Amino acid sequence: MTSATKRPAKVGRPRAVSDTTPETSPREQILSAAAALFVTQGIGSTSTRAIAEAVGMRQASLYYHFAGKDEMLVELLEASVRPGLEVSQRLLLDARAPASAAAALYALALVDVATLTNDRHNIGMLYLSPEVQDARYDVFRAERGQLQAAYATLGTRAARDVSGVDMPGEFLGSLLIQLVEVVIQRRRDNAEARIDADALAASCLRLLGLSGEAIERAAVAARALLAA
């Protein structure tokens, strides 16, 4: 496949990435090749030239799609938090009472677990990379911060009637998103790791001190929320 969809067709050598399908856009092919290199070679050791070679594209064609590897990494990182962030905006609106906040939190955890599980290259491995602490990644880190704030708000509301658990919302938010991100660690340890999304979402609620019954009700209500 060439960049024909945006530019006149150019004849390049055969693509080195064997697992792309003809339906994949050049942009997606570039992102996938970049992600594979970033998580195996490191960000600093990955050149745009190596990415272009992996896609079987000329560097000039690659620059038509992206200004550079930072732009690719930003897009990959943002894609890993965006589904949760989007669904959280809707969930936050209605989840005022503790029970509905528990259901919303359960639903948000399911969405994030699915996103992190389905991310082909486990890009979350790079969240703590020194390179990603740079100002160029401010937007991504702000988005992840927003997602964490949604966990904090839902967690605080869900735990309102639980006695004996009194943690600042901000601390709670960091614990909850951290728990969900165990997916990244498990996939790193074992590429074949099966992630039990329900066990993980239930663990988030148990961390808040919710009872087994309350967690079961939240699990059912969460499915309804996500189907809506």
Could you give the string, one character per residue 86-115, with x where binding to its own copies holds by CB under 8 A and - elsewhere?
------------------------------
CA pair distance 186, 165, nearest whole angstrom: 28
Q: 52, 67, 74, 75: which is closest to 2 by C-alpha?
A: 52
Residue 162 CB neighbours (<10 A) = 14
Q: Which of 175, 217, 223, 226 binds its own copies (CB under 8 A)?
A: 175
By CB under 8 A, residue 149 contacts its own copies: no
Q: Which of 12, 25, 27, 43 binds its own copies (CB under 8 A)?
A: 43
By CB under 8 A, residue 219 contacts its own copies: no
Q: Which of 16, 97, 139, 199 binds its own copies (CB under 8 A)?
A: 199
Task: Give residues with Cβ within 8 angstroms of 149, minimum separation 6.
Answer: 173
Torsion angle in degrees (nearest 10) through CA of 78, 19, 125, 104: 50
Q: Which of 130, 135, 192, 227 binds its own copies (CB under 8 A)?
A: 130
CB-nearer residue toward its own copies: 71 or 170: 170
CB-nearer residue toward its own copies: 199 or 224: 199
CA pair distance 92, 88, nearest whole angstrom: 6
- If residue 173 lies in a helix (H) or strand (E), which one and from where to where? helix 169-180
Considering only the stretches 14-22, 49-57, 60-68, 128-136, report the one whose residues sit in contact with its own copies under the rule CB under 8 A.
128-136
By CB under 8 A, residue 44 contacts its own copies: yes
Q: Which of 139, 165, 220, 224 binds its own copies (CB under 8 A)?
A: 165
Could you give the string, one character per residue 56-75, with x where binding to its own copies holds by CB under 8 A and - elsewhere?
--------------------
CA pair distance 81, 144, nearest whole angstrom: 6
Task: Give residues with Cβ within 8 angstroms of 30, minimum separation 6.
Answer: 51, 55, 57, 62, 65, 66, 72
CA pair distance 54, 174, nearest whole angstrom: 37
Q: Which residues bind its own copies (CB under 8 A)?
A: 38-45, 124-131, 133, 145, 163-165, 167, 171, 174-175, 178-179, 181-182, 184-186, 188-189, 196, 199-200, 203, 206-209, 212
